[in-house]
Amino acid sequence: MRGVIDWGRGFMPSFAGLRRAEKRAVLEHLGYPPVSDTGHYAWERTSATLAPYEFVGYERWRDSGGYPAVKPPWGTLSAIDLNTGEYRWRIPLGEFAELKARGIPTTGTELYGGPIVTRGGLVFIAASQDAKFRAFDKNTGALLWEVELPAPGYATPSTYAVRGKQFVVVAAGGGKLGSKSSDTFVAFALP
């Protein structure tokens, strides 16, 4: 536990800036026995000192249909003017086909991965649960192109050129949020 306090772990930052007495107080609060006469920590926890709560991971709050239990949009793509801090545009990103079939407008989905912007003004992003890779107009947010991937592309795309031909590639690995997994990289270029 002292290592976790000093170095952090996972999403938890370190508390290396605490003084020794403060670290000792944190450890004792967590149920570790007090420092011995030698000044060393007694690292073993006894059953009588176990903390009543334990972190077991992140839980998502869902409604009875399995969708986020908050008002949509559940994921957005936004363009912000860095000179003013104002939104130029903001759109829901991603959709659930079954909701769309019921006439529910695009809700957006939980997103993992960011966009890239090309010199030509295209915004490429996968990121959404619906396994689609999309291109938007950077000035208006208008959808210009989309294609279905073999699995969700929870990754930021990359672009490169070979002999003057530009490509955009994304890892379609999926696997999060119960989605299909894949080990595919998909690259696109104009003919």
101 shares its domain with 166: yes
What is the pLDDT at residue 38? 56
Confidence at residue 20, expressed as pLDDT on a 0 to 100 scale: 81
User: What range does the domain containing 158 cover?
Assistant: 76-188
3-state secondary structure the chain: CHHHHHHCECCECCCCCCCHHHHHHHHHHCCCCCCCCCCCCCCCCCHHHCCCCCCCCCCCCECCCCCECCCCCCCEEEEECCCCCCEEEEEECCCCHHHHHCCCCCCCCCECCCCEECCCCEEEECCECCCEEEEEECCCCCEEEEEECCCCCCCCCEEEEECCEEEEEEEEEECHHHCCEEEEEEEECCC
Interval 12-21: pLDDT, tens: 788 778 888 8
Residue 56 in domain: no
pLDDT on residue 48: 47
* Residue-averaged pLDDT of the chain: 87
Q: Which residues of the chain have pLDDT under 50?
A: 43-49
How many domains, in total, are found in the chain? 2
* CATH code: domain of residue 140: 2.40.128.630
Are residues 114 and 159 located together in one domain of the fold? yes
Instruction: With respect to residue 59, please indicate whether it lies within any of the assigned structural domains.
Output: no
